[in-house]
Every structure is written in structure tokens, then in C-alpha cells.
Amino acid sequence: MKIVALNYICLSNLLRSFTFIGFTGWAQFESNEFLLTQKKATHTQIHVARYNLTFSLTPETIIYDETGEQVREGTIWVLDDEGNETGYTLTSAHSAVFNQFESNEFLLTQKKATHTQIHVARYNLTFSLTPETIIYDETGEQVLEAVFPIAPAVAGLVLSHHEQARYLVPIARFYATDKESEVSDFYPVVHDIDGTIAQSCLEEHWRNHPPTQKPLWHYHHSEGHISYQLKEGQPIAENVADALYLAYIYLATNQPEKAWNTLEECNTRLGGLTGDPKELHYISWICNHLPHVLPSTKSEYEKVRL
């Protein structure tokens, strides 16, 4: 089992408690960087510092100090708020369609005999998987695979119910990449669904101001998304803020005519700016982050501009 499954314990509100049944080696729960080990003649203690958990090791057993529970190999079971088994177990398996929306690092999967549930924790979305379909639990809409209403580089999921469809797009900037690119005026871009921009900015800051201790993160419901109705396969914004983000996406994917039409709709169909802070947020992205320049590539980018 991969560490992404064990992150479920810390990220999901559904896991108030958990059993210690089923991980082989500490690397499946925590990075060695955060494991603190103390050794005595009789036994060894391992402190999982970031989660405030302490275990005692002997040649025969591993015991969770707080409860006396034994760590055993097998399966990690998901419990409800009262500590009762739900019938679900954690698994690292998931449908590849979710890679169109979110990084594997943040996908939390639980499985039982009848079906599998995938929690897109950062966006607070839950989907149920069967061999035939993927269903968005909140509305019953079906996820359509391999559909890209704007461009393949844009992250998103298309949901369909009867004859209506909509497009869920994560709110994230694009950054430039030279991977598989050719010499041209327009560089390929990556929709930042794995936190690359935030991580690179933090690392740049920490190089100049090293922290005493790196902060811990709680990712659950930490990001947002926008839902666009699809009309004849094209996304339609319902307010100015959503239209500005859509224009940003069009510009980032080298579709200036669609971007211009969308900006015109802000003044015509949608009635102009309202003063919503989100509007200023996306205007800033249009002005300063087309695309975002990562600190590691900034000096090279500035040389090109000069």
C-alpha cells in the first residue's frame, strides 16, 4: 500500500479513529525524515512526530503506547465516528480519470466488496466507482472519461446527467514547462494540480529564511473548483469571477480569441465587475501569471525577456 492511502487517516474528516492493522514498514505511514527513534536495552521507541504517535518495539511485537494496540500486518480498516468498522478498507487503487483533475498524492481511496469510493480531499468531493461507471455522490451525475472541453492541458472532470453536462475545473494557476516543447513563441503549460507553485515558493522562501521547523499541512477542503455548464460542448460562465478565470485559462492555453470573447461577456451578458475579491484575484493572474514562472526558472526567463 502506498503512503497516499495512509494520508487518508490525517486528511479526511471521516476518519476520526483508525486501526493499526496492516502496514509493513514505517515508510508506508511516514517519511523517515520525521521518525524519531529512541533505543533502550529492553525495547525501542519510535515517535511519529508529526502525528504525535508513539510506538514501542520489541523483537516480537510493535505496540501503540497510548492504547496498547498491537501493530499487525493485514488490512487498514476505515472506522466511523464511533470507532465502528464501516466495511471499507484503504487501497491505493483508483481510476485514471481522476488524474485529469487531481494529483495522486491527494486522492484517498476506500474499498469494499460492492464498490469503491474515491475522496478528492482538497476539493471535498466524493465519487463512487463500479466496474461500469463513476458517480459523483452528491448529485448522482456520471463522470465522462477522456473529455476535454477547453484543452488537454486543462485539468477538469465532465459530469453528465440525462442530456445536461457540466465541467468541474480546479482553481489553479498554470506554469511554463520546456518538457517535450519545441522552439516557438508559445511554451507548453502545466495546470498546477499537485501544488508545485506553492511548494517552489515555500522552498525559495525557506532558502532565504530557514524555518526552525517546517510547518505541517492539513489539505482537506483546502482548494476550490468552479462548475461551468456546457453548451454545445463549450463552458459557460455564470458570473464575472468565473468568466475571468475562464479567460485566464484560454490565455494560458493560447486561445486568445475565446479569451477576448469571454472578457467582452463580462461587460455585456454578465453586467460588469461587481467588486468581488475573486475578480481581482483572477485579473492579477491574467496580468502576472501567464504563465507563472517558478523560482527555479525565473533567472533564465528574465534573461530571455532581456
Q: pLDDT tens for residues 202-242?
A: 888 888 888 888 777 778 888 999 999 999 999 999 999 99
Query: Prior bond to 291 cis, omega within 30?
Result: yes
Q: What average pLDDT does this structure show over 171-200?
A: 82
Residue-level pLDDT at 243? 98
How sure is the predictor about 11, in pLDDT bands with cuts at 50, 70 and 90?
Answer: very low
Q: From CA 199, how far away is CA 215, in angstroms rounded?
A: 12
pLDDT at 25: 57
Q: Average pLDDT of the chain?
A: 82
Residue 169 Cα distances to 126, 135, 264, angstroms: 15, 17, 21
pTM: 0.73
pLDDT at 248 exceeding the cut of 80: yes
User: b/e string for 75-110 if b means 16 or more Cβ within 10 A?
Assistant: ebbbbeeeeeeeebbbbeebeebbebbbbeebbbbb
Higher pLDDT, 135 or 35: 135
**pLDDT tens across 254-298, in order?**
999 999 999 999 999 999 999 999 999 999 999 999 988 887 666
* 119 closest CA partner among 12, 6, 9: 12
**Which one, of 262, 222, 223, lies nearest residue 245 by Cα?**
262
Transcribe 198-222 into DSSP letters.
HHHHHHHHHHHS--SSPPP---TT-
What pLDDT is recorded for position 2?
34
- Which pLDDT band holds residue 19 (cuts at 50, 70, 90)? very low
